[in-house]
Structure 1
Amino acid sequence: MAKKAFAGIALLATAAVAMSGCAGSGADDASNTIDGDIKGEIKVLTWRTDLVQDGTYDRYVKEFEAKYPDVKVKIEAVTDYATEMQTRMSTTNYGDVIGIPTIKPDQYDQFLEPLGKTADFEDTYRFLPAASYDGTQYGIAWGGNANGVVYNKKVWEEAGITTLPTTEEEWLEDLQKIKDNTDAVPLYTNYKAGWTLTQSFGNLGGVTDDADAPITLAEDEAPWSEGTDVYAIDSLLYDSVAAGLTEDDPLTTDWEQSKVLIGTGKIGAMTLGSWAVSQMKAAAEDNGASADDIGFMAFPANVDGQQYAVIGGDYNLGVSKHSKAKAAAWAFIQWIVGESDYVEVQGMVPTVKSQPLPEALTSFEDAGVDLMEINPAPAGKEALLNTTADKAQIDLYGPIYRQKLVDIARGAADGDKDSYFAELNDKWGAAVESLKG
């Protein structure tokens, strides 16, 4: 499913590469402006190939065209969206409505039509910083995700667990209860898929209540030290594996099968974003179990008793600079974000602030978990975290260093947590020092 590749990483990956090719603007006639007549033909490019295949997009098009009969919408699903868009945006032909790919913020105006002043959207929409530059808004997120843990409520209840963990110590105790009292794998790492191991990184900032966590990390010479976000995130994984509370052979994990396993009570928990909840619920129902068994909890950490969950937008939808029907394209974005049932069905955090949280996250409200957004990086530091990671040769958004972490924890590689964290700190610290000048 196309969704998986962007779910958690999109919350924090703010680095951008320069787009080559054209930088011209579209036509200047009145019908080609955001506030012009809502009419014409528009092409919507989407990474959600699954929604095209299952007919969801057909329904959306019919509903939108019923409201705006002077607009005709064509949907084009792009399988390898991120790569394909890098090529398409070197031309003037990349659709009318797009999920904004990786573009440097100072290049937004070369490829995207400005939607208005960011300040004018702040009372209505969440997740604005990722598609804003110099006070101008260029995109609106099509829903958002919360970071945390997907779990099977029935498994946890059968293990005798009555309250959800808010510390790593409680987490390990609970996983041990699952191991001792049920037949389920307490925590499934999904090691083999790779990208799944990166999902917990989306909790950066939520552990310490630091909305500037990406910059804090980028400037910390020893971030794998006790008391930091990344230390807590990676320790949770390491200590769970080292205690024998994960699958027996991580080399044979299977992402698609894991949905069925957690849905049917053979897995207790997986560290994933809230985007995964709807998929696990569907897998439960498809295999004779109850969708109600699937729940979502905050990452087991707290600050003075208060838990936090980092939320962030998925792809931002923008209007092509070269669209001949910009008003229609902008109307489609506003409709899909604010009037379609997308976020409700997908269990996502609504971009529109006035809309209620999805059912999967109402437990957050009941538990008093605060939702927090990460602040945009200060001017000049937008790419600092990624630059530091590249310099340190640590794939911060990838699986390699985390797979090694698992290998060490399970005894398949030399070292221990202290030695590996010291190694990471040495590399990171050298990178931070070299970039100071």
Structure 2
Amino acid sequence: MTDAFEEKYNCTVEYQSFKSYADDVSTMMSTKEYGDVLMIPDTVKLADLSNFFEPLGKYDELKDKYKWADQKMYDGTVYGLAHLGSVSGGICYNKKVWTDAGITTMPKTADEFIADLKKIKEKFPDVIPYYTNFKEASWTASQWSSLVVPSSGNPNFETDLIVNKEDFFTEGKPYYNVFKLMYDIYSDSTLIEGDPMSSDWEGSKLMIAKGEVATMTMGSWAVSQFQQIAKDNNLDPENIGYMPAPFSKDGKQYAQYAADYCMGVNKNIADDKKDLGKKYIEWFIAESGFSEAEGGINTLEGSKLPDYLSAFDGCEFFTAATAPEGLTGVFNAIDKDSEVGIWTGDSANFKLQLAEAAFAGKGDAGFKAIADSVNQKWAATRDANAELEAYIKANG
């Protein structure tokens, strides 16, 4: 991959692999010998970046050229640039099935999404419109949580939720909208696999590649797995697509994307190597083709989205904001202490409770009972959080 760079700059590029990258490199950084160019471990505090990495430029100079230029920045100076980015909060689908069912535009509301699933079932009775993968619910149910922030259209959604002391589930708001959609789909046995309790994750990969399954809520990471299964079975990998969460705000759809690891230059190497290291990062992002090969989003502003993200054309992308000083980790602490478990999947978790209530046909009353219980736990824990109260008091 690096032959072109080596020829252009008359150098040799060597790579080093690690079993546990963040841990191993963090240990190496206690010395000056931690490579020339490296992915910056998240263990390095932003205020400490200048102790380990060479400045790549001022944020004001780089922000219009590179996405996520603020991810490894301190006091206006950028020390790392993302090698690629990814989309979170979308839905995998078989494009051929959806198109052959007569669906020409992607759904922008929950009602449209369910109507499309029904079209698929009507057109193809043997196809499973939506596959729950409920047997693996400890992690598959959590995929729905990834739709929440994108559907909000608000980079500060999590901070606003706790600072404004809003209920976790409020009708018309993101958590309610996302999990009510999940509940409504799971409540309709014609739209899902016959026995969700015995679903098969590994088998479902081939099923969606074949078009036996039309749709699954998964991160964009799943696209490459589904496409590889298609290739391995002489099927068309281009049939695998990824669509934005079917929600709109003020008539517009939003999508969340995020930087992967950021590349930086070791400040302890010779000056000529520093310059070469900077050129390597620029080349890796702009010319290597790595992000395209991995199905990632290229860091260069204005770069074309990967083909499998064509359904995201017209979406407004944003990156979730970090919590302000004084609230770092507070949202996650409230989630953990309340045992709401946005990302966990034990048997007492609200996502699994919702799924089981839906399968049992408990209707809107079943959804409301679970939502009310979650609201009570969330509010009690939130209101008892001393850091949140101190922040609210200090910031009016």
Which category describes the TM-score, using the shorter chain as reference length? 0.7 to 0.9
CA pair 233-88 structure 1, distance change in 2 beyond 3 A: farther
Is the Cα contact below 8 Å between 1:264 and 1:287 reproduced in 2? no
Matches within 5 A, 1:25-44: none
Matches within 5 A, 1:30-429: 60-70=1-11, 72-82=12-22, 84=24, 94-103=34-43, 104-146=45-87, 147-182=89-124, 183-191=126-134, 192=136, 194-219=138-163, 220-244=165-189, 245-320=191-266, 325-365=273-313, 368-400=314-346, 401=349, 402-411=351-360, 416-429=366-379
1:258-307 CA distance string (max 9 Å, x none):
33221111211122333433433332233222223222222111123221
Amino acid paired to 2:229: A
2:344 & 2:139 partners in 1: Cα distance? 7
After TM superposition, the score normalised by the length of structure 2 is 0.82
Is the Cα contact below 8 Å between 2:106 and 2:311 reproduced in 1? no
**Runs of 5+ unmatched residues, structure 1:** 1-59
CA pair 161-386 structure 1, distance change in 2 beyond 3 A: same
1:85 & 1:389 partners in 2: Cα distance? 31
1:339-392 CA distance string (max 9 Å, x none):
111222233222101322222233332xx3222333343333343322332332
1:108 & 1:430 partners in 2: Cα distance? 38
Amino acid paired to 2:179: D
Is the Cα contact below 8 Å between 1:274 and 1:360 reproduced in 2? no
1:427 & 1:156 partners in 2: Cα distance? 40
2:128 & 2:69 partners in 1: Cα distance? 39
Amino acid paired to 2:13: V
- Higher mean displacement: 87-96 or 254-263: 87-96
CA pair 61-163 structure 1, distance change in 2 beyond 3 A: closer
Amino acid paired to 1:314: D
Is the Cα contact below 8 Å between 2:209 and 2:237 reproduced in 1? yes
Between the aligned residues of both structures, percent identity stands at 35
1:291 & 1:161 partners in 2: Cα distance? 20
2:279 & 2:133 partners in 1: Cα distance? 40
1:159 & 1:128 partners in 2: Cα distance? 42
Is the Cα contact below 8 Å between 1:129 and 1:376 reproduced in 2? no
CA pair 404-296 structure 1, distance change in 2 beyond 3 A: same
CA pair 141-249 structure 1, distance change in 2 beyond 3 A: farther
Aligned-residue offset at 1:232: 1.9
Amino acid paired to 1:271: T
Is the Cα contact below 8 Å between 2:147 and 2:245 reproduced in 1? yes
Aligned-residue offset at 1:404: 4.2
Is the Cα contact below 8 Å between 2:84 and 2:297 reproduced in 1? yes
Is the Cα contact below 8 Å between 2:137 and 2:352 reproduced in 1? no
RMSD: 3.0
Aligned length: 375
2:192 & 2:319 partners in 1: Cα distance? 30
Secondary structure of the residue aligned to 2:151 is: coil
Secondary structure of the residue aligned to 2:15 is: strand
CA pair 137-251 structure 1, distance change in 2 beyond 3 A: farther
**Runs of 5+ unmatched residues, structure 2:** 391-396
CA pair 227-281 structure 1, distance change in 2 beyond 3 A: same
Secondary structure of the residue aligned to 1:207 is: helix
Amino acid paired to 2:375: N
1:82 & 1:425 partners in 2: Cα distance? 37
Secondary structure of the residue aligned to 1:312 is: strand
1:312 & 1:396 partners in 2: Cα distance? 19
1:310-338 CA distance string (max 9 Å, x none):
22222222334555644443332222112
1:206 & 1:128 partners in 2: Cα distance? 20
